[in-house]
Amino acid sequence: MKKIVIGGCSFSQFMDENSPWKSWTNLLEEEYRESIGISNTAKSSYGQGAIVENVVHDIIIKNYQVDLVIIQWSAIGRGMGINQKDFYKKVLDAHDGGHMLTNSIEYFNNGISDDEISNRINRISNSFVRHSLIQIKLLKDFLTLHKIPHLFYWGWEQLTDESSEEYRSLIESIYSNSWWLPDGNTGMSEYVVKKFGNTALLPMDFHPTTDSHKYFYDTIINPYIKNNLL
């Protein structure tokens, strides 16, 4: 049986029947549960550090016997607290906040108000951008070293023109035929918005709807799996 490991944030985690949307990972599991072993490490609030940590750990547990890794990269700076004290309080109050401690640089003192995520509008400092890109580069090199095929993509656009120029060499080293880029530095959100317009994302939210996840799965993920894994 082929094995897939998935990493990401809420854009890629398995959703239960009471959730406001069904994820593309749910659709993948439903279609291939008999023929592909799917290990999904994606979880809400994960930043790049937590994604890398959990994916690498899962690959090691599997003794590197993995046929494909799919990574949906998350926000550059999660904005979980307005300062270090506030951040640590949230970790203590959270049901499962321990994963944030080892990657705390992604979550506090980034100039973003409480519980926001970063995007092109609420920009953050270059130190956060560099940290995030280095995490991506390290995982890419790890997978390449162990000859593990991988597909990377942004959940939603993160890089500004300024950061793209500042870290051009680093970005060029991580963008390749293993990175899905629908247009420029954009990602899944921009791809589904181009298809569905204002109805692509949940009202008063930024998460793609079930229809958007299905469109992404049908046009990007499933064709990739059929062409490269089966």
Q: Which of 28, 17, 21 is nearest to 201 (CA)?
A: 21
Q: How far apart are CA 186 and CA 166, in angstroms?
A: 18
DSSP state of 73: E
Read off the pTM: 0.85
Q: Nearest CA to 129 among 179, 91, 185?
A: 185
Percent of the chain with pLDDT over 90: 65
CATH assignment at residue 105? 3.40.50.1110
Count of domains observed in the chain: 1
pLDDT tens digits for range 91-114 = 566 655 555 555 555 655 455 554
pLDDT at 143: 98
Cβ neighbours of 84 (radius 10 Å):
12
Query: Residue 103: which domain range?
Result: 2-228
pLDDT at position 41 over 80: yes
pLDDT at 69 over 90: yes
